[in-house]
Amino acid sequence: MKQATYTITENTLLAPSVYRMALVGDTSPITAPGQFINIALDGLYLRRPISICAWNEKGLAIIYKVVGRGTEQLSRLALGQTIDALTGLGNGYDVSACPNTPLLVGGGVGVPPLYGLAKALLAAGKKPSVILGFNRADEIFGDMEFAALGVPVTVTTADGSAGVKGFVTDAMKGGEYVCACGPEPMLRAVYQRASDGQFSFEARMGCGFGACMGCTLETRTGYKRICKDGPVLGYREIKW
Amino acid sequence: MPDTRVDLLGIELSNPVIPASGTFGYGREFAELYDLDILGSFSFKGTTLQPRLGNPLPRIAEAPSGMLNAVGLQNPGVDRVISEELPELAKIFHKPVMANVSGFSIGEYAETCARLDACAQVGWLEVNISCPNVHNGGMSFGTDPAQAAAVTRAVKSVTTKPVIMKLSPNVTDIAAIARACADAGADGLSLINTLMGMRIDPRRRAPIIANTTGGLSGPAIFPVALRMVWQVYEAVDIPIIGMGGVQCAEDVIEMMLAGATAVQVGAANLVNPLACPQIIAALPGVMEQYGIDNLKDITGGAHHG
């Protein structure tokens, strides 16, 4: 963990209410895909945790959905403005624990961290494929970016307006090693069909770095703080 | 150079700044960012006799100039605190630490304190009779003077360490609880714990916090905390640790002028993990600004007559 000041170099609408923000600044504390930053915003007391989509030595990108006052304020920030963030937070995906052909499954704003994971898996010589789930065709984002990496992409939509009609689980064969990120009902459904994998959790957090015990989950291996021991937890730890 | 040292019940602190229990864990996360030995001390996570998972999620909600929490005293239990956490703590903090204790019965408070009494690292016992987030425990001892006195007596009988009773603001007359604790032999008092509050999610038409209510902390409660420290200072003659929404060196000065001997910093650590070192670094300059040579001289300095 480190406190960093990032300069906004991009803040563009990708899909309804979904924005991509590029930030320039210190990324040295970021060590794994699936980690997050915790952003301070004017007039709001608690920071807002947002997963890191991709990063390099110069900066990082986040993709967020406007769901409340914090993300709404984020969407109005202009290029050149700076944000104060705690960076390199959490325990991300373990690339070395993945088999040669892991399946990545993302739903909605759970998709972004899987992009960074796909890049890390490719760099490690592995061959991921990805299933991206959305409600409707106009909400789809990220599919082209995964395709550009050469990763096979399957899109599902709940209303069938694009790709496979149904949920992400409808595009799974069953029994796969899955790296998942998305809303909890999706994670639970994926967990039931997967044989192993890594699952990224979301929570309302106090600090985001393990001090307040505001986001603890009971697992098979003890109490885990989603912000510090997670957000990514192993299939075998999860008590579902 | 202004002198920031204060004396807290016979132990000298290099400065009055103490991270508050429940906002600092056992210090590990903060030790990644700074040397904990710059702190006056710190109060570790509230400890109970048995391990506790705490409340269901969500436990946290935003509030105007503050936050709500309903963690519910998650902790590994006193035996694991002593066997696992304190040895780890000894590697990163080399001063007396404040042990924060909670319980669900008077006997449990006494037993937990008795076990912590044996730990050389522990400088003070801070007895929390004010947790608003657990049922049949915590705050129920801190809202009734007779119960508060009974816990105080039970704890005093099992330890020779200074006993600091941590008071709840969720009472009609905090001075009455303070007097009851002092009369029962408390060595010091710390106040305030969080104020009970809640938020509702209009989309779900349900409370945000799974426990329905939570404790409000952060700068929103600073004036309330200051007023209560003021009232308790007028009511008792034992040292007070002031807390509630403190986030800068000026707040520390205000708390001490109201009657505090030392000051705890809580929620500020969560949103700015460097809050305590920043406050400590700013203190000498702020003291000079207000013509303060020795910080220990200003306790209660705003009370005239």
Q: Provide the CATH number for the domain around residue B120.
A: 3.20.20.70
Q: Does residue A101 surpass a pLDDT of 70?
A: yes
Q: What is the pLDDT of residue B134?
A: 73
Q: What is the pLDDT of residue B88?
A: 97
Same domain, A140 and A221: yes
One of B113, B131, B181, B276 is an active-site residue; which one?
B131
Q: Which residue of B has its CA nearest to A222?
A: B53
Minimal Cβ distance to B69: which of A206, A209, A223 = A206
Coil, strand or helix: which one is A130? strand
- Hey, are the CB atoms on A216 and B54 less than 8 Å from each other? yes
Same domain, A69 and A138: no
User: Would you call the peptide bond into B192 cis, given omega within 30 degrees of 0 as the criterion?
Assistant: yes
Mean pLDDT (whole number) for A147-176: 97
Find the CATH number of the domain harbouring A37.
2.40.30.10
The reply to whether A17 falls in a domain is yes
Cα separations in angstroms, B262 against A6, B4, B8, B250, B293: 36, 11, 7, 14, 16
The residue out of A68, A89, A110 marking a domain boundary is A89
Q: Which residue of B has its CA nearest to A43?
A: B65
The reply to whether A240 falls in a domain is no
| Total number of domains constituting chain A | 2
Q: What is the pLDDT of residue B232?
A: 98
Single-letter code of the amino acid located at A159: D
User: Strand (E) positions, A36-102?
Assistant: 36-39, 48-55, 59-65, 82-89
Same domain, A133 and A21: no
ipTM of the complex: 0.93
- Hey, are the CB atoms on B60 and A214 less than 8 Å from each other? yes
Q: Which residues contact A123 (CB under 8 A, 6 or more apart)?
A: none
- Hey, are the CB atoms on A204 and B61 less than 8 Å from each other? yes
User: Which chain A positions have a beta carbon within 8 Å of B269's beta carbon?
Assistant: 207, 211
Q: Which residue of A has its CA nearest to B20?
A: A212
Coil, strand or helix: which one is B30? helix
The reply to whether B305 falls in a domain is no
- Hey, are the CB atoms on B274 and A210 less than 8 Å from each other? no
- Hey, are the CB atoms on B57 and A215 less than 8 Å from each other? yes
Q: Residue A54: which domain range?
A: 2-89
Same domain, A50 and A135: no
Q: Which residues contact A215 (CB under 8 A, 6 or more apart)?
A: A203, A204, A205, A206, A225, A226, A227, B57, B59, B60
Per-residue pLDDT tens listing for chain B (305 residues):
899 999 999 999 999 999 999 999 999 999 999 999 999 999 999 999 999 999 999 999 999 999 999 999 999 999 999 999 999 999 999 999 999 999 999 999 999 999 999 999 999 999 999 877 776 656 789 999 999 999 999 999 999 999 999 999 999 999 999 999 999 999 999 999 999 999 999 999 999 999 999 999 999 999 999 999 999 999 999 999 999 999 999 999 999 999 999 999 999 999 999 999 999 999 999 999 999 999 999 999 999 97
Interface test with B, best of A46, A69, A86, A215 (most B CBs within 10 A): A46
Q: Residue B279: which domain range?
A: 6-55+71-196+221-298
Rounded CA separation B16/A143 (Å): 55
Mean pLDDT (whole number) for A9-33: 97
Find the CATH number of the domain harbouring A148.
3.40.50.80
Q: What number of other Cβ atoms are within 10 A of residue B65's Cβ?
A: 16
Establish whether B131 is a catalytic residue: yes
Q: What is the pLDDT of residue B132?
A: 74
Same domain, A76 and A120: no
Same domain, A178 and A84: no
